[in-house]
Amino acid sequence: MLYFANDYSEGAHPEILRRLLETNLEHTPGYGRDGHCANAKKRIRDEIGKPDAGVYFISGGTQTNRLVISSMLKPYQGVVAAESGHVASHEAGSIENSGHKVLTLPGRDGKIPADALESFAADFYRDGNYEHMVFPGMVYISQPTEYGTLYTKSELSALLSVCREFGMYLYMDGARLGYALACPENDLSLKDIAELTDVFFIGGTKVGALFGEAVVFPGGSEPEHFFTIIKQQGALLAKGRILGIQFETLFSGGLYRKIGKRAIDTASKIKKDLLRKGYRLYTDSPTNQLFIIMDNERLRKLEEQVAVSFMNKYDDSSTVIRICTSWATSHEDADRLCELL
Amino acid sequence: MLYFANDYSEGAHPEILRRLLETNLEHTPGYGRDGHCANAKKRIRDEIGKPDAGVYFISGGTQTNRLVISSMLKPYQGVVAAESGHVASHEAGSIENSGHKVLTLPGRDGKIPADALESFAADFYRDGNYEHMVFPGMVYISQPTEYGTLYTKSELSALLSVCREFGMYLYMDGARLGYALACPENDLSLKDIAELTDVFFIGGTKVGALFGEAVVFPGGSEPEHFFTIIKQQGALLAKGRILGIQFETLFSGGLYRKIGKRAIDTASKIKKDLLRKGYRLYTDSPTNQLFIIMDNERLRKLEEQVAVSFMNKYDDSSTVIRICTSWATSHEDADRLCELL
Amino acid sequence: MLYFANDYSEGAHPEILRRLLETNLEHTPGYGRDGHCANAKKRIRDEIGKPDAGVYFISGGTQTNRLVISSMLKPYQGVVAAESGHVASHEAGSIENSGHKVLTLPGRDGKIPADALESFAADFYRDGNYEHMVFPGMVYISQPTEYGTLYTKSELSALLSVCREFGMYLYMDGARLGYALACPENDLSLKDIAELTDVFFIGGTKVGALFGEAVVFPGGSEPEHFFTIIKQQGALLAKGRILGIQFETLFSGGLYRKIGKRAIDTASKIKKDLLRKGYRLYTDSPTNQLFIIMDNERLRKLEEQVAVSFMNKYDDSSTVIRICTSWATSHEDADRLCELL
Amino acid sequence: MLYFANDYSEGAHPEILRRLLETNLEHTPGYGRDGHCANAKKRIRDEIGKPDAGVYFISGGTQTNRLVISSMLKPYQGVVAAESGHVASHEAGSIENSGHKVLTLPGRDGKIPADALESFAADFYRDGNYEHMVFPGMVYISQPTEYGTLYTKSELSALLSVCREFGMYLYMDGARLGYALACPENDLSLKDIAELTDVFFIGGTKVGALFGEAVVFPGGSEPEHFFTIIKQQGALLAKGRILGIQFETLFSGGLYRKIGKRAIDTASKIKKDLLRKGYRLYTDSPTNQLFIIMDNERLRKLEEQVAVSFMNKYDDSSTVIRICTSWATSHEDADRLCELL
């Protein structure tokens, strides 16, 4: 059986496990006050060129989204997201449970176009009844998006200036950011992202860690006493160093980039093969997730030998599936998949 | 100046004020434990033919919606509403603030068609990831809708059976219910509504009261200790009898119906006149709210003599406005408006 | 039967009803955007000598407490109150439901002594684990307290300076403020209160109104978009003028003071009589609430002719009861009560 | 330097790391739907003799407490805890943030006596105003308590019967349960706990795991769709197997008991030595946490060579400190500590 269903079906990159083993008997203070966390923060600050950035390690993506959004919004504000945005659709109402509305825009290939955002915000303030409605206080985007697509530098800049115009924070969910950074098509470095957002996170769970995401407040927008808010939401690990060691490792010797590169190399090999064989792509993703419209009959056969993800029904005779590579995908597996397709 | 902007720009029906005056020096227990509240509840129970119905008096519509929805839903559930539904758009995120998502459907003239609801719910449970999403736990409808339209008995029955199929409560917002009940086109009595919903409210604020809505749980779906939940949400009046006296009066001698009738009589007079003169209606409302597409030039002139409500821009040269009658609208005012149109 | 159970068992002061009647057919904008609300706000601002104060009218006390506390606190903060404070004990967990802890101090006759507050706050920040605990962000006091006692000007000043030292807001619940203001023993004017608190409310419900409280932000601490927050919490009345008219009336021709005076005059007459006859007072209240330790046998007889409030068991043979006067208490009734005691 | 400050300053028991390594490249479904989680659940169910118990793995203790309490309580209910209870004091208001009040009782050596609980609950329902107050809906206890003490079987039975009498759930926080189970003084087996509580958790973080707690609903009290609630609170790990593997390992070959035994053996050696040398104990703890009243001068010297925890000031010249052993404490370290004391 070949596994292309997702990028979180294995454990961690071996280097991370090695470091957990190596450091296992160290005595360190709890709750992220240890040297590994300090080190990991320093490396991330160096990488983005922001020596004063706030950096926090959180166990998972939904938790991170909930913490960031609920602590930065005022009670009368909601967060704007694409309809396909993870917070809008697949987090079981986590944002609403924290008290805030998710205001959705249709999106284009998973992205929010700056002009659509501008229209939305301008219309809001033009409506005579806007004080009876939820104020847009933040814009949530994902890089790469839920459809595997990428924001360009100019698109991100355009979003940021709409955010500035209407007093909204810009927040980037980077659950798979490592895969975006590794794409030849990508023109947004970590440094750029730190300049062009108010807050973002660098995903670990889907990019080689056992679990964990690094939230970064590059500028001055970090909520006061964010540590206590993390505790209050039940998101503070006693052995915080477990997260610190993982990010320390991911940001040593270029590991985060290597992990991304392997997944992108195998994904583009598969993508080229798909296109050559005439498969239809549902979105044109340059990242580690490929969305393919596949004939139901062919899909049934493929699934006997390959684990893929069902996305949605396309029409009566075909289905949108996802093929996903990761740090753990070997070139051999990619080649074998191409043979089967 | 003529006033047709809304149905809450005056005080209360004179009969209500008369009763407040008359009872002013009575000594009664607080928090709705008084005889007037008991009386009012009994009259409502008699009217709907449900001697055991739970009846509670709440100050306003948003408060009522928030209380009912948040106390009946489980944490993992949201409420389904039409995009135009009041809870979805004009309550400043009150439902989300209470922890629940509003799941929107496009709606048709402000109504949720039973087949659209069924597709939505069936699709939800067919999605392999539904446990990562917000469960539909209740359906919110308004009678009349935000566009002045009415559910028929067969439409409501159809909604109820979809609700039963998928384990959802059916909740009717009756902020303007008195105006629905008074329409010749309406085939849904209070008794029918009590049979065909799990919970609904009978609006007072917009139907002749100073303020107040009567929530009714006709069957067994009343949340435990709803009294305490009302207190907790800050919605319990110390002088609860103020609400009791108002509903006691509205449900004495057919006052609630008389108030509805006056508004519907004047509204239909105006509607007939509008149609005769060739005005375009935005929705075909048989109730006390008329939605008219009006040329901007003509609107500017009309507004010099008549207060109306702006709804939304229709196109570059015209606007959707609302003309609204109430218990306080005289036939003379309606005639004068017709002359000006 | 004589009624001394509480100060909210009648309707409204007749002057208020007269004004509601008089203004009933005026057409005004909704949601508190009308002239009566504007007028009432102006009168309150004049009274406190703060022309820029934020003033909002809310239906009831629990709602006001919840709105003020939850909108002024940060997520990691709680509100400090005396154990006997209304928010701590008798609001069904309303503050906690809004997400914040009530941090209680023992209190002395219902009051928080400044030195106890200082110790509490100093201890908090001395505790090495304070970032794992709820930060004190606001202090809640009542004037008069739940035991009828009064803060003096110097006590209030002392509390304020502790609040300033530790970055806490000072909030005064004035549900019965009118009765404090009318006490000869009182040395805190509305102007003083406006200088010595960050936010307070002037109670209407228990001081002659049908319902309603006026929240005042005398300085710069008003939460952004408080109007929208009011709406979101379900606390915005469509016919906002109903509240405006009541406060406009209470603050015309000294009515608020007259109402207070009547209650205080009758209460002190009763208090003097009680002391002369050797009754034991549970607290030494100079306001309209008298707390008396009464032999159970005597109480049983008294209750045949007088409605009083049960507070708590004192010991096996006696009980603490409350006798309460109001604007509606006549001197005749006070005299008759004295005869029965 | 010797380390006795807490039981979470190292990584994980080596056996757990070994298993994480061994299973690292397995492909498994996400979100806890994998074989390791299934296995771990089965072993826990076998251990407690409840084949149908609900078992869930959560990242940390505060998160677990928040999830369990907020999903089992009704909106009008709060949770009863000892003043020293972790949820009352050291979780940054996590329970209140989820909407519920923590109702505190004084406690005795960290425990809630059944008779104190009964008085509290009986008084609550005897109070005529109880519907204006927070209903006690659950009792939270810790085993061992925050002071290292243990409930006996008869104490737990007595608590349960008070809970049954007043309709409250009984919930046990077992963050350090492994250390209780290993005490010779303990008479409560996992089977007993499963019979005598409605829900409890088996702590991993402080008992040898990298992180993780196992919530157990032994009877029928598991909230509907608890999986979705976990997701909504941001507590669902994508790589859920990381938790499954850890508990699978802890419950293989008696590892959980071995870990407990090592800590208890070293702690009792130290305790005996302390008593022999005339140290005063703050509480008489038979578990892995020893609370000692120590002269400040002596403490200063000790801290040069041993890391201990500061608890609180005892008086002007002495301090309460905590000495804590764990699975990682060697007999040699315990002996060295005894020499230094």
Nearest to A211 among D1, D66, D237 (CB): D237
Q: Do D133 and C101 touch (CB under 8 A)?
A: no
Locate the chain C residue with the closest alpha carbon to B330. C25
Mean pLDDT of chain B: 97
pLDDT > 90: percent of chain B: 98
The whole-number average pLDDT for the span B226-251 is 98
Half-sphere exposure in the Cβ direction for C234 (13 Å, CA): 31
B92 touching A, CB under 8 A? yes
Does residue B341 have a pLDDT over 90?
no
Half-sphere exposure in the Cβ direction for B59 (13 Å, CA): 30
Does residue B36 have a pLDDT over 90?
yes
State pTM to two decimals: 0.97
Task: Measure the CA dihedral C114/C120/C121/C127, to 10°.
Answer: 160
Q: What is the pLDDT of residues C38-70, one digit of tens each?
A: 999 999 999 999 999 999 999 999 999 999 999
SS3 of residue A286 by DSSP: coil
The predicted structure's pLDDT at residue C273: 96
The whole-number average pLDDT for the span B309-334 is 94
Does residue D43 have a pLDDT over 90?
yes
The whole-number average pLDDT for the span B23-46 is 97
With helix as H, strand as E and coil as C, how does chain B read?
CEECCCCCCCCCCHHHHHHHHHCCCCCCCCCCCCHHHHHHHHHHHHHHCCCCCEEEEECCHHHHHHHHHHHHCCCCEEEEEECCCHHHHCCCCHHHHCCCCEEEECCECCECCHHHHHHHHHHHHHCCCHHHCCEEEEEEEECCCCCCCCCCHHHHHHHHHHHHHHCCEEEEECCCHHHHHCCCCCCCCHHHHHHHCCEEEEECCCCCCCCCEEEEECCCCCCCCHHHHHHHCCCCCCCCHHHHHHHHHHCCCCHHHHHHHHHHHHHHHHHHHHHHCCCEECCCCCCCEEEEEEEHHHHHHHCCCEECEEEEEEECCEEEEEEECCCCCCHHHHHHHHHHC
Q: What is the pLDDT of residues D54-93, one digit of tens each?
A: 999 999 999 999 999 999 999 999 999 999 999 999 999 9
Q: Do B96 and A76 touch (CB under 8 A)?
A: no
Q: Do C63 and B328 touch (CB under 8 A)?
A: no
C229 touching A, CB under 8 A? yes
**Which residues of chain B have a CB within 8 Å of the CB of A92?**
76, 131-134
* Alpha-carbon span B283 to B274, nearest angstrom: 13
Dihedral over Cα of A33, A37, A42, A44: its sign = negative
Give the contacts of B127 (CB within 8 A, at least 6 positions apart).
Answer: B133
Q: Do A132 and C231 touch (CB under 8 A)?
A: yes
Helix, strand, coil percentages, rounded to 5, for chain C: 40, 20, 40
Q: How far is CA D267 from the centre of its chain?
A: 17
Mutate to test the interface with C, among B236, B248, B327, B337 (most CBs of C within 10 A): B236
pLDDT band for position D295 (cuts 50, 70, 90): very high
Identify whether A144 is preceded by a cis peptide bond (ω within 30 of 0). Answer: yes
Q: What is the pLDDT of residues C77-99, one digit of tens each?
A: 999 999 999 999 999 999 999 99
Rounded to the nearest 10 degrees, the angle between the axes of helix B255-276 and helix B241-250 is 60
Hey, what amino acid is at A293?
I
Does residue B312 have a pLDDT over 90?
no
Shortest CA distance to A246 belongs to which of A8, A19, A9, A7? A19
Mutate to test the interface with D, among A6, A8, A33 (most CBs of D within 10 A): A8
The predicted structure's pLDDT at residue C220: 86
Mean pLDDT of chain A: 97
The predicted structure's pLDDT at residue D306: 96
B75 touching C, CB under 8 A? no
* Alpha-carbon span C74 to C168, nearest angstrom: 11
C99 touching B, CB under 8 A? no
- If contacts are CB pairs under 8 Å, which of residues 305-324 in chain B contact chain A? 310
Does residue A220 have a pLDDT over 90?
no
Q: What is the pLDDT of residues B56-108, one digit of tens each?
A: 999 999 999 999 999 999 999 999 999 999 999 999 999 999 999 999 999 99
C123 touching D, CB under 8 A? no
D106 touching C, CB under 8 A? no
D43 touching C, CB under 8 A? no
Question: Do β-strands B135-142 and A309-315 pair in parallel, antiparallel, or remain unpaired?
Answer: unpaired
SS3 of residue C172 by DSSP: strand
Q: Do A132 and C99 touch (CB under 8 A)?
A: no
C126 touching D, CB under 8 A? no
Phi, psi of A333 (to 5 degrees): -65, -40
Dihedral over Cα of D273, D278, D283, D284: its sign = positive
Chains that touch A (3 or more CB pairs under 8 A): B, C, D
Identify whether C144 is preceded by a cis peptide bond (ω within 30 of 0). Answer: yes
Nearest to D133 among C92, C102, C128 (CB): C92
B91 touching A, CB under 8 A? yes
Contact A291, A148 (CB under 8 A): yes
State the nearest Cα–Cα gap between D297 and chain B, in angstroms.
51
A62 touching D, CB under 8 A? yes
B268 touching D, CB under 8 A? no
Shortest CA distance to A153 belongs to which of A179, A181, A130, A178? A181
Q: What is the pLDDT of residues B127-186, one digit of tens each?
A: 989 999 999 999 999 999 999 999 999 999 999 999 999 999 999 999 999 999 999 999
Strands (E), chain C: 2-3, 54-58, 77-82, 102-105, 135-142, 169-173, 199-203, 213-217, 280-281, 289-295, 306-307, 309-315, 318-324
pLDDT band for position D341 (cuts 50, 70, 90): confident
SS3 of residue A314 by DSSP: strand
Q: What angle do CA B300, B306, B310 make, to 5 degrees?
A: 60
Q: What is the pLDDT of residues C156-180, one digit of tens each?
A: 999 999 999 999 999 999 999 999 9
B239 touching C, CB under 8 A? yes
Q: Do C97 and D99 touch (CB under 8 A)?
A: yes
**Which residues of chain D have a CB within 8 Å of the CB of B132?**
31, 228, 231
Chains that touch D (3 or more CB pairs under 8 A): A, B, C
Cα-Cα end-to-end distance for chain D: 14
How far apart, in Å, are the Cα atoms of C239 and each of B6, C81, C207? Answer: 11, 33, 21
Q: What is the pLDDT of residues D9-29, one digit of tens each?
A: 999 999 999 999 999 999 999
**Which residues of chain B have a CB within 8 Å of the CB of C236?**
60, 62
Q: What is the pLDDT of residues C209-235, one digit of tens each?
A: 999 999 999 998 999 999 999 999 999
* Alpha-carbon span B108 to B115, nearest angstrom: 12
Hey, what amino acid is at D133?
M
* Alpha-carbon span A187 to A152, nearest angstrom: 6
Cα-Cα end-to-end distance for chain B: 14
The predicted structure's pLDDT at residue D202: 98
- Bridge partners (DSSP) listed for residue D291: D322
* Alpha-carbon span C279 to C287, nearest angstrom: 17
* Alpha-carbon span D287 to D186, nearest angstrom: 9
Nearest to D75 among B31, B76, B229 (CB): B229
pLDDT band for position A308 (cuts 50, 70, 90): very high
* Alpha-carbon span B32 to D225, nearest angstrom: 36
Q: What is the pLDDT of residues A55-80, one digit of tens each?
A: 999 999 999 999 999 999 999 999 99
SS3 of residue C311 by DSSP: strand
Does residue C341 have a pLDDT over 90?
no
Q: Do B93 and A102 touch (CB under 8 A)?
A: no
The whole-number average pLDDT for the span A218-242 is 97
Q: What is the pLDDT of residues D100-126, one digit of tens each?
A: 999 999 999 999 999 999 999 999 999
The whole-number average pLDDT for the span B233-257 is 97
Q: What is the pLDDT of residues C97-154, one digit of tens each?
A: 999 999 999 999 999 999 999 999 999 999 989 999 999 999 999 999 999 999 999 9
* Alpha-carbon span B69 to B95, nearest angstrom: 7
B76 touching D, CB under 8 A? yes
Which strands sit side by side in the sheet containing C318-324, from one edge to the other? C280-281, C289-295, C318-324, C309-315
